[in-house]
Amino acid sequence: MTDAPAALPPMTLLIAAPRGFCAGVDRAIIIVEKAIEKYGAPVYVRHEIVHNKFVVDGLKAKGAIFVESLDQVPDGVPVVFSAHGVPKAVPAKAEERGLDYLDATCPLVSKVHRQAERQVDAGRHILFIGHKGHPEVIGTFGQVPDGTMTLIETVEDAEAFTPADPANLSFLTQTTLSVDDTAAIVATLLRRFPAIHAPKGEDICYATSNRQTAVKAIAGKCDAVYVIGAPNSSNSLRLVEVAEREGTPARLIQRAADIDFDWLKDVKTLGLTAGASAPEILVREVVDRIGERFAISEQQVETAQEHIAFKLPRGLETA
Ligand code: 0K2
Ligand code: SF4
């Protein structure tokens, strides 16, 4: 007689919504795919189109070649700029070399670029709230002349900044920041510089803030949270921080192979979400892998619905 298989331990999965791809990521990936259809392979892409290895590997298989600098793009082949945006010098250089280029910068990042130009035209010095070295920050700094923008990463930076002219300041932000940390930095700037010019709307984009609200809604009810996303994905890292601040241990994983079943040993309720650059197929992969070891019951917890889509650049709509 064979033993009956031991019953799997129960686990509730609370799956945050919205999660995963945003409209800017969708658009950026479609731009690369359509560029390959239109021009034929290879199409070069400057920087990871979005910060996700699975996405990048999928596009490589279709004929995309990823490089970090325009200098690595040979003459006569098309190049796509990533969703995070590029300094003005990059398209200028592409034009100088006669390269066909397609700009996959998210329209919400481009909006911040235009605001930066406007502030400088109005004679204001810009305090840019963001993370040093991130490609979006490099791209936004590259919209304005050197010396017209100062990076503010923390409340301490906001306390320490000494302006040449406190009456002519403005602030802008990276699109993928922590909503709560940014509010604290902005409050410090407003207290110190009451005349500072604020952006019209939020620069932190709808997708970033919706995903943070959604993970906040589940984290308190969970014993642990997994965020699916890449270690260089700013918006994904922020989701881990938000969950941890609710007092729940949280970790970033790229896909099912990264699941630590020791860490899940005593977990009865696990929260799951995904950054704006992480495809839903990886969420399903993680759920299925956990389902091999636990008797799972899945619940979606929706805090908002998203119906945003961005137009493709001219010339690609029909490709
Ligand atoms: O969150 P990040 O800016 O690091 O970028 P990704 O993870 O690629 O997500 C897409 C957002 C791109 C621009 O905002
Ligand atoms: Fe655009 Fe926001 Fe998505 Fe970045 S996270 S690509 S700013 S919609």
**Per residue in 163-204, pLDDT tens?**
999 999 999 999 999 999 999 999 999 999 999 999 988 899
- Is 68 designated active site? no
What is the CATH code of the structural domain delimited by 10-21+206-302? 3.40.1010.20
Task: Specify the ligand 1 atom closest to the Cα of 108.
Answer: 14
pLDDT in tens, 90-138: 999 999 999 999 999 999 999 999 999 999 999 999 999 999 999 999 9
CATH fold match for the domains 10-21+206-302 and 107-192: yes
Instruction: List the domain boundaries for the chain.
Output: 10-21+206-302, 23-103, 107-192
- If we measure between CA atoms, which residue out of 14, 77, 13 comes closest to residue 46? 77
Exactly one of 136, 241, 244, 302 is catalytic; which is it? 136
CB of 177 closer than 8 Å to CB of 238: yes
What are the pLDDT digits (tens) for 48-74?
999 999 999 999 999 999 999 999 999
Ligand 2 lined by 104 (C-beta under 6 Å) = no
Rounded to the nearest 10°, the torsion over CA 87, 90, 95, 98 is: -160
In three-state secondary structure terms, 301 is strand
> Residue 277 Cα, ligand 1 centroid: separation in angstroms?
6
Instruction: For residue 106, give the ligand 2 atom closest to its CA.
Output: 1
Structure tokens at 24: 């800017």
Predicted pLDDT of residue 106: 98
- What region does 164 belong to: left with phi over 0, alpha with psi -120 to 50, or beta? alpha
Residue 302, SS3 per DSSP: strand
Does ligand 1 lie within 6 Å of residue 86's CB atom? no
Please give the Cα distance from 290 to 225 (Å, whole number): 13
Q: 23-103 in CATH: which number?
A: 3.40.50.11270
Fold of 107-192: Cobalt-precorrin-4 Transmethylase; domain 1 (3.40.1010)
CA of 105 to the centre of ligand 2 (A): 9
d(CA 191, CA 274): 35
